[in-house]
Amino acid sequence: MARKPAPQASPDTPTDTARRRLVGGSIGTLVEWFDFLVYSLSTPVLARLFFPEVDPVASLLATLAVFGVAFFMRPLGGVLFGYLGDRWGRIRVLSITILIMGGATSLIGLLPTYAGVGVAAPVLLVVCRMLQGLSAGGEHSGALTYVLESAPDGRRGRWIGVVFAWSFLPNAIMGGIVLGLRGIFGEEAYQEWAWRLPFLLGGVLAGVGLWLRRRLSDPELFVEAAAKREQAAPRANPLKTVLTQSPGSVVRVVLMSAPQLITAWMIIGFMYTYMVTIVGMEAGPALVSNAIAALTITLATPFSGALADRIGRKPVMFVGLVWSIVSSYPAMVLVGRGTFTQALMGQLLLGMGVILFCPGSLVTMLELFRTSVRYSGHALSYAAGAAIFGGTSPLLAGVLVTRIGPTAPAFYIIAAAVLGLAVVSLTPETARIQLRDKEAEHSSASETPQDLAVAPAREERH
């Protein structure tokens, strides 16, 4: 491989302030989840246009299976872009991931349907979804890593909460967009061609994100860590380092991702299709209730992240997991009754578990890895968790509903939360650790819990 470009950082300037770094990192998360959500909300239309030769239920499940394909590409993207992100720098790689992501989404909006090209239509759809998954495997971890390493002292949880909030913002946006398109063009035109417009908008958002990121530089914290690594071991492979020095962290992140991904994707990847296809709600009320629940999560998660900074990650995560265990079944019962108010209440019950658990768990996952290998470590393990628990959630939930009953997804959420309780109890508290990397020490912070728990040591500024 050609010699990598050296990561570079520059002092904060009017074009590279802390706020710009937060926005520049977060916008990729917005694009990533916007792209995935566009597909999710378009599932009923895509099922008819790309899989018309089977019965409606099988067509729906086939479309959800294509949705899951992207998640099985995420580990490959995590390995590839995580390695490049630790070797080449955060911003260079994040510019590549957002470009691929936006391009693949735009292509879906331009694809011919089954009626036009036959079986080539679903094949091309799968290819586009694979590209989305490949880029998302590097985008999500890269954006979180970049923001964590750029965050001011004592605000890592709050900043990661902001990034996570942007992942739910597309739900609120898309609800308005879909309703607006249906109102402007009519239902028939929307079903035939106007469904393509949100996919094309995803490409435009990616272009804006690329423009913002090209004006940023790598965090000083990472540049220093990369320089120390180059002095100590110029040819060191960050993936090998993670697997040999931090295997416990990899396992923790994979398992800790289960309650986060399953519950979150149940809300943003399954609930709308469930309400329209299974419960029989009209598309408008279903979209609005889902959008309000997503907006509530968007507004509340930064405060949950701030609470994790103040009292620690683990207490907030524990409360969120217990909430999910207690509330999931009543939530699915409410949604299944089919009224707007009850559907909204049910989604808000599920959303509270997401609000409490996800910011603390995300920042913990990142803090378990050293700076010089953080991108690789998180991308590899989180993408593996996403492949196992994320992409399969809507499909598995659909199968559970058809085979067992409308409330069956609740037990899947409960099982994930119970697993989360076990994992969090065995994970050290990371709120007070110092991120300033110690490259001379050939051990990961995640493998020395006593060091992680040290603390009230003041974090070094970066």
DSSP of 166-197:
HHHHHHHHHHHHHHHHHHHH-HHHIIIIITHH
pLDDT at 248 (0 to 100): 92
Out of 30-34, 72-76, 232-236, 318-322, which region has the weakest mean confidence (pLDDT)? 232-236
Please write the tens of the pLDDT for every residue from 32-88.
888 877 887 777 788 778 877 655 666 666 666 676 677 778 888 888 999 999 988
Please write the tens of the pLDDT for every residue from 151-184.
987 899 999 999 999 888 887 777 778 778 888 9
Do the domain assignments include residue 460? no
Measure the CA–CA gap between 454 and 435, rounded to whole angstroms. 13
pLDDT at 97 (0 to 100): 93
Do the domain assignments include residue 190? yes
pLDDT at 122 (0 to 100): 82
Instruction: Give residues with Cβ within 8 angstroms of 174, minimum separation 6.
Output: 34, 37, 38, 41, 198, 287, 291
Do the domain assignments include residue 3? no
Do the domain assignments include residue 5? no
Angle at 259 between CA 256 and CA 261, to 5 degrees: 95
Do the domain assignments include residue 127? yes
| Over residues 447-451, mean pLDDT | 40
* Amino acid occupying residue 161: G
* pLDDT: which is higher, 430 or 454: 430
Residue 195 lies in domain: 21-220+238-452
Out of 12-16, 98-102, 250-254, 342-346, which region has the weakest mean confidence (pLDDT)? 12-16
Q: Is the pLDDT of residue 452 over 50?
A: no
Q: pTM of whole model > 0.85?
A: no
| Over residues 309-338, mean pLDDT | 95
| Over residues 411-422, mean pLDDT | 95
Q: Do 199 and 106 form a contact (C-beta atoms < 8 A)?
A: yes
pLDDT at 118 (0 to 100): 79
Q: Is the pLDDT of residue 459 over 50?
A: no
**Whole-number average pLDDT of the chain:** 83
Q: Is the pLDDT of residue 18 over 80?
A: no
Confidence band for 11, pLDDT divided at 50, 70 and 90: very low
**Among positive and negative, which fits the CA dihedral 269, 270, 272, 277?**
positive
Do the domain assignments include residue 426? yes
Q: Do 452 and 433 form a contact (C-beta atoms < 8 A)?
A: yes
| Over residues 99-127, mean pLDDT | 87
Q: Is the pLDDT of residue 30 over 80?
A: yes
> How many distinct structural domains can be found in the chain?
1
Do the domain assignments include residue 48? yes
Q: Do 60 and 43 form a contact (C-beta atoms < 8 A)?
A: yes
382: CATH: 1.20.1250.20
pLDDT at 61 (0 to 100): 61
Q: Do 284 and 391 form a contact (C-beta atoms < 8 A)?
A: no
For 224, the token pair is 């220093």
| Over residues 253-269, mean pLDDT | 89
pLDDT at 53 (0 to 100): 64
Q: Do 142 and 90 form a contact (C-beta atoms < 8 A)?
A: yes
Please write the tens of the pLDDT for every residue from 336-393.
898 999 999 999 999 999 999 999 999 999 999 988 899 999 998 998 888 788 767 7
